[in-house]
Amino acid sequence: MKTYRIATIPGDGIGKEVVPAGRQVLEALARSTQNFAFDFENFDWGADYYRQHGVMMPDDGLDAIRDKDAILFGSAGDPDVPDHITLWGLRLKICQGLDQYANVRPTRILPGIDGPLKRCEREDLNWVIVRENSEGEYSGVGGRVHQGHPIEAATDVSILTRAGVERIMRFAFKLAQSRPRKLLTVITKSNAQRHAMVMWDEVALEISKEFPDVKWDKELVDAATARMVNRPATLDTIVATNLHADILSDLAAALAGSLGIAPTGNIDPERRYPSMFEPIHGSAFDIMGKGLANPIGTFWSVAMLLEHLGEFEAAKRVMAAVEAVTADPSLHTGDLGGKATTAQVTAAVCAFVERVEAAAA
Protein backbone atom coordinates (compact mmCIF):
# COMPACT_ATOMS: atom_id res chain seq x y z
CA MET A 1 0.00 0.00 0.00
CA LYS A 2 1.32 3.41 -0.99
CA THR A 3 1.60 6.08 1.71
CA TYR A 4 1.58 9.65 0.45
CA ARG A 5 3.36 12.29 2.50
CA ILE A 6 1.20 15.40 2.58
CA ALA A 7 2.11 18.79 4.06
CA THR A 8 -0.86 20.84 5.26
CA ILE A 9 -0.34 24.61 5.57
CA PRO A 10 -3.60 26.27 6.68
CA GLY A 11 -2.09 29.78 6.88
CA ASP A 12 -4.52 32.50 7.97
CA GLY A 13 -8.21 33.34 8.30
CA ILE A 14 -10.57 30.72 6.87
CA GLY A 15 -7.52 28.78 5.64
CA LYS A 16 -7.48 27.43 9.21
CA GLU A 17 -11.04 26.18 8.73
CA VAL A 18 -11.00 24.78 5.20
CA VAL A 19 -7.64 22.98 5.26
CA PRO A 20 -8.60 20.76 8.25
CA ALA A 21 -11.86 20.08 6.36
CA GLY A 22 -9.84 19.02 3.31
CA ARG A 23 -7.74 16.77 5.48
CA GLN A 24 -10.90 15.15 6.86
CA VAL A 25 -11.96 14.26 3.32
CA LEU A 26 -8.56 12.71 2.59
CA GLU A 27 -8.81 10.76 5.85
CA ALA A 28 -12.29 9.54 4.92
CA LEU A 29 -10.90 8.33 1.60
CA ALA A 30 -8.00 6.56 3.25
CA ARG A 31 -10.34 4.86 5.75
CA SER A 32 -12.37 3.41 2.93
CA THR A 33 -9.63 2.07 0.67
CA GLN A 34 -6.87 -0.53 0.78
CA ASN A 35 -4.99 1.27 -2.00
CA PHE A 36 -3.31 4.16 -0.22
CA ALA A 37 -2.78 5.98 3.05
CA PHE A 38 -1.65 9.48 4.00
CA ASP A 39 1.07 10.66 6.32
CA PHE A 40 0.19 14.26 7.19
CA GLU A 41 2.48 16.90 8.60
CA ASN A 42 0.97 20.25 9.54
CA PHE A 43 2.89 23.55 9.44
CA ASP A 44 1.60 26.49 11.49
CA TRP A 45 3.15 29.12 9.20
CA GLY A 46 1.36 32.38 8.53
CA ALA A 47 0.53 35.65 10.27
CA ASP A 48 0.47 34.17 13.82
CA TYR A 49 3.92 32.72 13.18
CA TYR A 50 4.95 36.15 11.86
CA ARG A 51 3.77 37.85 15.07
CA GLN A 52 5.95 35.46 17.08
CA HIS A 53 9.02 35.12 14.87
CA GLY A 54 9.01 38.12 12.50
CA VAL A 55 8.79 35.87 9.43
CA MET A 56 5.84 34.06 7.84
CA MET A 57 7.75 30.77 7.67
CA PRO A 58 11.22 29.72 8.86
CA ASP A 59 14.17 30.42 6.54
CA ASP A 60 14.79 26.69 6.10
CA GLY A 61 11.06 25.97 5.82
CA LEU A 62 11.28 24.83 2.21
CA ASP A 63 13.57 21.99 3.30
CA ALA A 64 10.80 20.64 5.52
CA ILE A 65 8.34 20.32 2.62
CA ARG A 66 10.64 19.66 -0.34
CA ASP A 67 10.31 15.88 -0.03
CA LYS A 68 6.53 15.72 0.43
CA ASP A 69 4.36 14.19 -2.28
CA ALA A 70 2.01 17.19 -2.26
CA ILE A 71 1.01 20.26 -0.27
CA LEU A 72 -2.49 21.39 0.74
CA PHE A 73 -2.51 25.14 1.34
CA GLY A 74 -5.18 27.47 2.78
CA SER A 75 -4.65 31.20 2.52
CA ALA A 76 -2.11 33.86 3.45
CA GLY A 77 -3.50 37.19 4.58
CA ASP A 78 -4.24 38.86 7.92
CA PRO A 79 -6.07 42.06 8.85
CA ASP A 80 -3.04 43.31 10.83
CA VAL A 81 -0.15 42.36 8.53
CA PRO A 82 0.41 44.08 5.16
CA ASP A 83 -0.64 41.89 2.22
CA HIS A 84 2.70 42.08 0.41
CA ILE A 85 4.39 40.59 3.50
CA THR A 86 1.94 37.72 3.94
CA LEU A 87 1.87 36.92 0.21
CA TRP A 88 5.61 37.14 -0.51
CA GLY A 89 6.61 35.64 2.83
CA LEU A 90 4.63 32.43 2.45
CA ARG A 91 2.68 31.58 -0.68
CA LEU A 92 5.04 33.10 -3.24
CA LYS A 93 8.05 31.87 -1.29
CA ILE A 94 6.77 28.32 -1.67
CA CYS A 95 5.57 28.65 -5.30
CA GLN A 96 8.83 30.23 -6.41
CA GLY A 97 11.11 28.17 -4.16
CA LEU A 98 9.64 24.94 -5.47
CA ASP A 99 9.42 26.31 -9.04
CA GLN A 100 5.70 25.54 -9.32
CA TYR A 101 5.57 27.44 -12.58
CA ALA A 102 2.18 26.31 -13.83
CA ASN A 103 -0.87 27.46 -11.91
CA VAL A 104 -3.89 25.50 -13.11
CA ARG A 105 -7.42 26.73 -12.44
CA PRO A 106 -10.38 24.67 -13.67
CA THR A 107 -13.78 26.35 -13.77
CA ARG A 108 -17.15 24.69 -14.23
CA ILE A 109 -20.64 25.53 -13.03
CA LEU A 110 -21.34 22.69 -10.61
CA PRO A 111 -24.84 21.18 -10.30
CA GLY A 112 -27.22 23.23 -8.16
CA ILE A 113 -25.11 26.39 -8.40
CA ASP A 114 -26.84 29.53 -9.61
CA GLY A 115 -24.26 31.29 -11.78
CA PRO A 116 -24.76 34.93 -12.77
CA LEU A 117 -24.72 34.26 -16.55
CA LYS A 118 -28.40 33.97 -17.36
CA ARG A 119 -27.93 33.14 -21.04
CA CYS A 120 -25.41 30.39 -20.36
CA GLU A 121 -26.16 26.66 -20.15
CA ARG A 122 -24.24 24.93 -17.38
CA GLU A 123 -22.21 22.99 -19.98
CA ASP A 124 -21.19 26.17 -21.84
CA LEU A 125 -18.73 27.08 -19.16
CA ASN A 126 -16.00 24.49 -18.81
CA TRP A 127 -12.59 26.12 -18.76
CA VAL A 128 -9.17 25.58 -17.39
CA ILE A 129 -6.99 28.63 -16.99
CA VAL A 130 -3.21 28.14 -16.99
CA ARG A 131 -1.43 30.93 -15.20
CA GLU A 132 2.30 31.54 -15.59
CA ASN A 133 3.30 31.30 -11.95
CA SER A 134 7.00 32.09 -11.74
CA GLU A 135 7.78 35.40 -13.44
CA GLY A 136 6.07 38.16 -15.44
CA GLU A 137 4.42 40.95 -13.50
CA TYR A 138 5.06 39.19 -10.16
CA SER A 139 8.81 38.76 -10.64
CA GLY A 140 9.37 41.04 -7.66
CA VAL A 141 11.81 43.14 -9.67
CA GLY A 142 11.63 46.86 -9.04
CA GLY A 143 12.26 49.39 -6.35
CA ARG A 144 11.50 52.74 -4.79
CA VAL A 145 13.61 55.84 -4.61
CA HIS A 146 13.14 59.15 -2.81
CA GLN A 147 10.71 57.45 -0.48
CA GLY A 148 8.36 59.90 1.20
CA HIS A 149 9.56 62.88 -0.84
CA PRO A 150 7.55 64.60 -3.56
CA ILE A 151 9.88 63.21 -6.24
CA GLU A 152 9.33 59.62 -5.06
CA ALA A 153 9.43 57.07 -7.87
CA ALA A 154 8.57 53.35 -7.88
CA THR A 155 8.77 50.53 -10.42
CA ASP A 156 7.39 47.00 -10.74
CA VAL A 157 9.18 45.46 -13.69
CA SER A 158 7.59 42.57 -15.52
CA ILE A 159 10.19 40.02 -16.62
CA LEU A 160 9.44 37.35 -19.18
CA THR A 161 12.15 34.89 -20.16
CA ARG A 162 12.10 32.83 -23.35
CA ALA A 163 12.62 29.66 -21.30
CA GLY A 164 9.81 30.65 -18.95
CA VAL A 165 7.37 31.37 -21.76
CA GLU A 166 8.31 28.23 -23.67
CA ARG A 167 7.69 25.97 -20.68
CA ILE A 168 4.30 27.47 -19.80
CA MET A 169 3.17 27.42 -23.45
CA ARG A 170 4.24 23.80 -23.84
CA PHE A 171 2.36 22.92 -20.64
CA ALA A 172 -0.78 24.75 -21.84
CA PHE A 173 -0.75 23.19 -25.31
CA LYS A 174 -0.28 19.75 -23.76
CA LEU A 175 -3.16 20.32 -21.36
CA ALA A 176 -5.39 21.57 -24.19
CA GLN A 177 -4.44 18.48 -26.20
CA SER A 178 -5.56 16.23 -23.32
CA ARG A 179 -9.04 17.77 -23.21
CA PRO A 180 -11.83 16.73 -25.59
CA ARG A 181 -12.05 20.00 -27.50
CA LYS A 182 -8.27 20.45 -28.00
CA LEU A 183 -8.77 24.21 -27.97
CA LEU A 184 -6.35 26.80 -26.54
CA THR A 185 -6.75 30.57 -26.24
CA VAL A 186 -3.53 32.51 -25.67
CA ILE A 187 -4.21 35.74 -23.76
CA THR A 188 -2.01 38.66 -24.69
CA LYS A 189 -1.69 42.43 -24.57
CA SER A 190 0.91 42.86 -27.28
CA ASN A 191 -0.83 45.89 -28.74
CA ALA A 192 0.11 47.99 -25.72
CA GLN A 193 2.98 46.07 -24.11
CA ARG A 194 5.27 45.94 -27.08
CA HIS A 195 8.32 44.03 -25.84
CA ALA A 196 7.71 41.07 -23.55
CA MET A 197 4.18 40.41 -24.77
CA VAL A 198 5.37 40.39 -28.38
CA MET A 199 7.90 37.72 -27.46
CA TRP A 200 5.07 35.89 -25.66
CA ASP A 201 3.08 35.84 -28.92
CA GLU A 202 6.10 34.69 -30.95
CA VAL A 203 6.81 31.82 -28.57
CA ALA A 204 3.14 30.77 -28.64
CA LEU A 205 3.32 30.50 -32.44
CA GLU A 206 6.57 28.49 -32.25
CA ILE A 207 5.28 26.04 -29.64
CA SER A 208 1.95 25.63 -31.48
CA LYS A 209 3.88 23.86 -34.27
CA GLU A 210 4.65 21.02 -31.82
CA PHE A 211 0.88 20.51 -31.37
CA PRO A 212 -0.68 20.45 -34.85
CA ASP A 213 -3.87 18.82 -33.52
CA VAL A 214 -4.59 21.69 -31.09
CA LYS A 215 -6.73 24.56 -32.40
CA TRP A 216 -5.61 27.85 -30.90
CA ASP A 217 -6.33 31.54 -31.07
CA LYS A 218 -5.14 34.77 -29.46
CA GLU A 219 -7.23 37.24 -27.48
CA LEU A 220 -6.32 40.55 -25.86
CA VAL A 221 -6.85 40.34 -22.11
CA ASP A 222 -9.46 43.11 -22.00
CA ALA A 223 -11.44 41.57 -24.84
CA ALA A 224 -11.13 38.21 -23.10
CA THR A 225 -13.19 39.45 -20.13
CA ALA A 226 -16.08 40.30 -22.47
CA ARG A 227 -15.73 36.99 -24.31
CA MET A 228 -15.89 35.07 -21.02
CA VAL A 229 -19.18 36.76 -20.22
CA ASN A 230 -20.79 36.86 -23.68
CA ARG A 231 -19.45 33.75 -25.42
CA PRO A 232 -18.26 31.34 -22.71
CA ALA A 233 -18.66 28.28 -24.92
CA THR A 234 -15.97 29.54 -27.33
CA LEU A 235 -13.32 29.02 -24.65
CA ASP A 236 -11.78 25.84 -23.26
CA THR A 237 -8.11 25.97 -22.19
CA ILE A 238 -6.71 29.46 -21.61
CA VAL A 239 -3.08 30.50 -20.99
CA ALA A 240 -2.05 33.89 -19.65
CA THR A 241 0.69 35.71 -17.77
CA ASN A 242 0.79 35.85 -13.98
CA LEU A 243 -1.22 39.08 -13.56
CA HIS A 244 -3.59 38.59 -16.48
CA ALA A 245 -4.52 35.10 -15.34
CA ASP A 246 -4.84 36.22 -11.73
CA ILE A 247 -7.58 38.62 -12.76
CA LEU A 248 -9.26 36.38 -15.34
CA SER A 249 -9.45 33.50 -12.91
CA ASP A 250 -11.26 35.55 -10.25
CA LEU A 251 -13.74 36.53 -12.97
CA ALA A 252 -14.03 32.87 -13.93
CA ALA A 253 -14.68 31.91 -10.31
CA ALA A 254 -17.40 34.54 -10.00
CA LEU A 255 -19.04 33.39 -13.26
CA ALA A 256 -19.07 29.84 -11.92
CA GLY A 257 -21.08 30.97 -8.91
CA SER A 258 -18.71 31.74 -6.04
CA LEU A 259 -15.10 32.34 -5.10
CA GLY A 260 -15.67 29.73 -2.38
CA ILE A 261 -15.90 26.91 -4.93
CA ALA A 262 -12.87 27.54 -7.12
CA PRO A 263 -9.75 25.35 -6.82
CA THR A 264 -6.21 25.66 -8.05
CA GLY A 265 -2.98 23.72 -8.30
CA ASN A 266 0.51 25.20 -8.31
CA ILE A 267 2.25 22.58 -10.37
CA ASP A 268 5.83 21.65 -11.02
CA PRO A 269 5.18 19.72 -14.26
CA GLU A 270 8.66 18.17 -14.12
CA ARG A 271 7.91 16.78 -10.64
CA ARG A 272 11.24 17.86 -9.21
CA TYR A 273 9.33 19.30 -6.24
CA PRO A 274 5.94 18.76 -4.61
CA SER A 275 3.02 20.63 -6.15
CA MET A 276 0.70 22.70 -3.98
CA PHE A 277 -3.10 22.72 -4.10
CA GLU A 278 -5.33 25.43 -2.62
CA PRO A 279 -8.71 27.09 -2.92
CA ILE A 280 -8.31 30.34 -4.86
CA HIS A 281 -10.08 32.45 -2.24
CA GLY A 282 -8.25 34.38 0.45
CA SER A 283 -8.58 34.65 4.23
CA ALA A 284 -12.15 36.08 4.13
CA PHE A 285 -11.80 38.37 7.15
CA ASP A 286 -15.56 39.03 7.22
CA ILE A 287 -16.45 35.41 8.02
CA MET A 288 -13.29 33.95 9.59
CA GLY A 289 -13.58 32.05 12.85
CA LYS A 290 -17.32 31.55 12.46
CA GLY A 291 -17.42 28.14 10.79
CA LEU A 292 -19.20 29.56 7.77
CA ALA A 293 -16.51 29.17 5.09
CA ASN A 294 -17.42 27.18 2.02
CA PRO A 295 -14.98 24.23 1.94
CA ILE A 296 -15.90 23.18 -1.63
CA GLY A 297 -12.96 25.07 -3.21
CA THR A 298 -10.65 23.12 -0.92
CA PHE A 299 -12.35 19.79 -1.70
CA TRP A 300 -12.03 20.40 -5.45
CA SER A 301 -8.36 21.25 -4.79
CA VAL A 302 -8.07 17.93 -2.93
CA ALA A 303 -9.44 16.20 -6.06
CA MET A 304 -6.74 17.94 -8.14
CA LEU A 305 -4.13 16.83 -5.60
CA LEU A 306 -5.29 13.22 -5.93
CA GLU A 307 -5.20 13.43 -9.73
CA HIS A 308 -1.67 14.77 -9.53
CA LEU A 309 -0.71 11.75 -7.40
CA GLY A 310 -2.23 9.48 -10.06
CA GLU A 311 -5.17 8.47 -7.83
CA PHE A 312 -7.78 9.09 -10.53
CA GLU A 313 -10.53 6.91 -9.02
CA ALA A 314 -10.25 8.66 -5.67
CA ALA A 315 -10.26 12.06 -7.38
CA LYS A 316 -13.45 11.15 -9.24
CA ARG A 317 -15.02 10.02 -6.00
CA VAL A 318 -14.29 13.36 -4.34
CA MET A 319 -15.72 15.27 -7.32
CA ALA A 320 -18.84 13.09 -7.30
CA ALA A 321 -19.26 13.90 -3.61
CA VAL A 322 -18.75 17.61 -4.27
CA GLU A 323 -21.36 17.58 -7.05
CA ALA A 324 -23.84 15.68 -4.89
CA VAL A 325 -23.43 18.28 -2.18
CA THR A 326 -23.71 21.35 -4.43
CA ALA A 327 -26.83 19.84 -6.00
CA ASP A 328 -28.51 19.95 -2.57
CA PRO A 329 -29.44 23.55 -1.60
CA SER A 330 -29.75 22.56 2.06
CA LEU A 331 -25.98 22.01 1.96
CA HIS A 332 -25.16 25.45 0.53
CA THR A 333 -23.04 27.83 2.63
CA GLY A 334 -23.78 31.56 2.94
CA ASP A 335 -21.79 32.58 -0.16
CA LEU A 336 -24.23 30.43 -2.17
CA GLY A 337 -27.27 31.86 -0.42
CA GLY A 338 -27.66 28.95 2.00
CA LYS A 339 -27.35 28.37 5.74
CA ALA A 340 -25.04 25.33 5.94
CA THR A 341 -21.85 25.42 7.99
CA THR A 342 -18.36 24.27 7.02
CA ALA A 343 -18.77 21.28 9.33
CA GLN A 344 -22.09 20.21 7.78
CA VAL A 345 -20.76 20.36 4.23
CA THR A 346 -17.62 18.51 5.26
CA ALA A 347 -19.57 15.76 7.02
CA ALA A 348 -21.78 15.32 3.95
CA VAL A 349 -18.82 15.02 1.58
CA CYS A 350 -17.02 12.57 3.90
CA ALA A 351 -20.16 10.45 4.25
CA PHE A 352 -20.63 10.37 0.47
CA VAL A 353 -17.02 9.39 -0.13
CA GLU A 354 -17.23 6.50 2.32
CA ARG A 355 -20.66 5.37 1.06
CA VAL A 356 -19.50 5.21 -2.55
CA GLU A 357 -16.50 3.13 -1.57
CA ALA A 358 -18.65 0.79 0.53
CA ALA A 359 -20.99 0.33 -2.44
CA ALA A 360 -18.07 -0.43 -4.76
CA ALA A 361 -16.47 -2.97 -2.38
Sites for ligand NAD among residues 221-280 (CB under 6 A): 259-260, 278
Tell whether residue 246 is a contact of Mn ion (CB under 5 A).
yes
3-state secondary structure of 175: helix
Residue with CB nearest Mn ion?
246
User: Cα dihedral sign for 297, 300, 302, 305?
Assistant: negative
CA distance 206 to 358: 50
Tell whether residue 284 is a contact of ligand NAD (CB under 6 A).
yes
Tell whether residue 129 is a contact of ligand NAD (CB under 6 A).
no
Instruction: Say if CB 183 and CB 172 are below 8 A apart.
Output: no
Phi and psi of 157, rounded to 5°? -95, 130
- Of ligand NAD, Mn ion, none, which one sits near residue 312, judging by CB under 5 to 8 A according to partner kind? none
Sites for Mn ion among residues 195-234 (CB under 5 A): none
Of 130, 172, 293, 353, the one binding ligand NAD (CB under 6 A) is 293
Half-sphere exposure of residue 164: CA atoms within 13 angstroms, side-chain side: 23
Tell whether residue 75 is a contact of ligand NAD (CB under 6 A).
yes
- Of ligand NAD, Mn ion, none, which one sits near residue 294, judging by CB under 5 to 8 A according to partner kind? ligand NAD
Judge residue 274's burial from the number of C-beta atoms within 10 Å of its C-beta, 0-12 exposed, 13-18 middle, 19 or more buried: buried
45 or 127: CB nearest ligand NAD? 45
Please give the order of strands across the beta sheet that includes 237-240.
36-42, 2-11, 70-75, 275-279, 263-267, 102-108, 126-132, 237-240, 183-188, 215-220
The DSSP call for residue 89 is I
236 or 246: CB nearest Mn ion? 246
Q: Least distance from C-beta 349 to ligand NAD, angstroms?
A: 14
Q: Least distance from C-beta 282 to Mn ion, angstroms?
A: 8
Q: Which residues bind ligand NAD (CB under 6 A)?
A: 14, 75-77, 83, 87, 91, 259-260, 278, 281-287, 293-294, 297, 333, 335
Q: Which residues bind Mn ion (CB under 5 A)?
A: 246
